[in-house]
Chains A and B, each alone.
Chain A
């Protein structure tokens, strides 16, 4: 199993450009999450999905959109990138078949917006 993978690993954008980050998991997990990590802030939840075709807002959703058309994939979109969106983005997934299961994290995408 590859676990949770993220594409791309690095990206540099100019202000106003758009892009999509792809998260894929091969563990048949039901729930998926997108976080951003900024120095001194820990990880903050952007959006999450509890199943195919469903998404919900997290703590910091503004400026981002998501889609989960397939159970194994969770896409994070930036329609018009801003310098404040410079961050490291992590995707995670979890199976809820047992209470207390941990989230599995991808390796991250480092995004710089100029």
Chain B
């Protein structure tokens, strides 16, 4: 079974510091990968996605992620954290061979930003 693993259920960073949220996937077939953000009591909003082509993907709000096939990773980064980045982040993947386009989610990482 395919799986997506997020390392760290909680991450705290200081305002202005680098944000790094880790995501690894298990598959011999590169998947389509997504990062979603969830603010308190809201739905999920797409931050960025990797399908094919360029392995460095830029998203909204200054976030970016790099697809590394050799490491089966898709870590999310932002150079300088802002208070408004405090939220829960989910990494998810789907596979081109999965006809249902089901998303497999990681368990989420809650990001706290310390002033």
Contacts and interface: CB of A to CB of B under 8 A. Distances in A.
Contact of A31 (B9, B43, B100, B107): B100
A2 interface: no
Contacts of B42: 107-108
B5 to A, nearest CB: 10
Interface string A91-114: 010101001111101111000000
B100 A50 contact: yes
A102 B43 contact: no
A94 B46 CA distance: 13
Nearest to A103: B103
A17 B18 CA distance: 48
B105 A42 contact: yes
Say which size band chain B's interface belongs to. 20 to 34
A42 B46 contact: no
Interface residues of A, number: 25
Contacts of A56: 100
Given A42-B90, A100-B32, A105 B100 contact: no
A105 B43 contact: yes
A81 to B, nearest CB: 22
A114 B52 CA distance: 46
A58 to B, nearest CB: 7
B107 A40 contact: yes
A74 interface: no
Contacts of B51: 99-100
Contact of B101 (A43, A44, A94, A106): A94
A59 to B, nearest CB: 9
B103 to A, nearest CB: 6
B2 to A, nearest CB: 12
A45 B34 CA distance: 16
Given A42-B108, A50-B99, 19 more contacts: A33-B102, A41-B107, A42-B90, A42-B106, A43-B105, A44-B105, A45-B102, A48-B100, A48-B102, A56-B100, A92-B44, A92-B103, A99-B96, A100-B52, A102-B34, A105-B36, A105-B45, A107-B42, A108-B43
